[in-house]
Chain A
Amino acid sequence: AQSVTQLDSQVPVFEEAPVELRCNYSSSVSVYLFWYVQYPNQGLQLLLKYLSGSTLVKGINGFEAEFNKSQTSFHLRKPSVHISDTAEYFCAGTSGTYKYIFGTGTRLKVLA
């Protein structure tokens, strides 16, 4: 079955600390992988995408993610978070069609 699993529903972290948001996928959605961010009362904004090539993908706002085929993971990382990074983050995958499979989201809360 196609699935994208975000292992943490909430992640609290102090400002300027590093963060990792975890995402695992089933092999049937591994063709393309994405991370989106949703700020309060806004739509989803694309952070980064993996289509092929280098397994380390850099996105906007200092975020990066690593595609790991052996562990079927696509974790999102940032070395130093800011208060403004507080938002909900969604991992998504597709098997090559335009129909995304979304994870349930991880709420990142950055503490002062």
Chain B
Amino acid sequence: DAGVIQSPRHEVTEMGQEVTLRCKPISGHDYLFWYRQTMMRGLELLIYFNNNVPIDDSGMPEDRFSAKMPNASFSTLKIQPSEPRDSAVYFCASSLSGEQYFGPGTRLTVT
């Protein structure tokens, strides 16, 4: 299996622009997670889905962040408008039986 796929791997954008991060989970996995990693705050869970339905979005920092999972093989995390403090590495992970498998991450830089 190809593992969890994320795109783009790097994104540089200007403050105020919309950013969309993409994730393809491992085929057959029914849980999908979005995390954010920064030096200051470490690894934070933003939101997770089960069978394409959002279960817990309590980690989403504010209304500028939104996530969707239109089908079992695709999810997006959108930031609109982006701000410099959103600069971080965003990870997607998927799970079937408890252990989570992480993608390589998207490094977002907002200038």
Contact = CB atoms under 8 A, between A and B. Distances in A.
Interface residues of A, number: 18
Contact of B102 (A32, A43, A49, A94): A43
Interface stretch (B42-50, B61-69, B72-80): B42-50
B102 A34 contact: no
B11 to A, nearest CB: 15
Interface string A7-51: 000000000000000000000000010101000001111100101
30 contacts: A32-B98, A34-B99, A36-B102, A42-B104, A42-B105, A43-B4, A43-B93, A43-B102, A43-B103, A44-B43, A44-B100, A44-B102, A45-B102, A46-B99, A46-B100, A46-B101, A49-B98, A49-B99, A51-B98, A94-B98, A98-B31, A98-B48, A98-B50, A98-B95, A98-B100, A100-B45, A102-B42, A102-B43, A105-B42, A105-B43
Interface of B: 4, 31, 33, 42-43, 45, 48, 50, 56, 91, 93, 95, 98-105
